[in-house]
Amino acid sequence: MAVIKVENLSKRYRISRRQDSYLTLRDALARSYSRLLGKSGQGREDFLALDNINFSVEPGEALGVIGKNGAGKSTLLKVLSRITPPSSGQIIISGRVGSLLEVGTGFHQELTGRENIFFNGAILGMSRQEIVRKFEQIVDFSGIGQFLDTPVKHYSSGMCVRLAFAVAAHLDPDILIIDEVLAVGDIDFQKKSLAKMKEIIADEKRTILFVSHDLKAVEELCSRVLWLENGKIKRMGPAREVINEYAGEEL
């Protein structure tokens, strides 16, 4: 049974075509008059970031998501993580989701690293006892023990990524969703994180969705790849086949 099932998923954003840097009194009066006439939508247009997406992910599978900038990759992960709602369609997710989408996502900037470990664990639905049991592993993996009692707002982006990944990987979510954010870390930490994700898949049978422009890392980790283009699925299939086709078009 699939742990993620996406059916007819679309995400629409409304954007303004106006380029004015300021609003004059005449403009304000004109807009008010337009609203009275029922024309308040003028000057705006819809942008379809995701267009009728359908796919499923099995338990213990690593699915890579690739595509050019603006293809809809990050939007897809934000919808799956319930950060933003879909405009239409449905998502069925079985299990607890841990997301690592942007530097500092899910952290309270005024809290220390130590406090944020417990804060994130609580968000994931972990009991305090479970978090305590994993605490030392999280700190050791992150490598930021020296700054554990420093507020996160003073962390560098690399330190935030280290702690965020350590929390997401060790607090036992059933599904781990990771965006390009790992690229912020240094090479050694990227390798360490990739090895940890392989361990999660092989030993713990958890599911991973991995977005990256690093095609080598995607092929190394993922069994299947979903290729997005202009908000639509261009192809989905075995990792090497899809990556080779994608790389060929990029040349």
Residue 28 tokens, joined = 């304000």
* Local confidence pLDDT in tens for the 251 residues of the chain: 899 999 999 999 987 655 555 556 666 666 666 666 665 555 567 889 999 999 999 999 999 999 999 999 999 999 998 889 999 999 999 988 888 886 666 688 899 999 999 998 887 778 899 899 999 999 999 999 999 999 999 999 889 888 988 888 887 788 999 887 777 667 888 888 888 888 888 876 789 999 999 999 999 999 999 999 999 999 999 999 999 999 987 64
Show me where the domains of the chain are located.
Answer: 4-250
CA distance 126 to 170: 11
Classify domain 4-250 by CATH architecture.
3-Layer(aba) Sandwich (3.40)
Neighbours of 229 (CB within 10 A): 16
pLDDT for 132 equals: 95
Contact predicate 116/163, CB 8 Å: yes
The pTM for the full model equals: 0.80
CA distance 172 to 131: 10
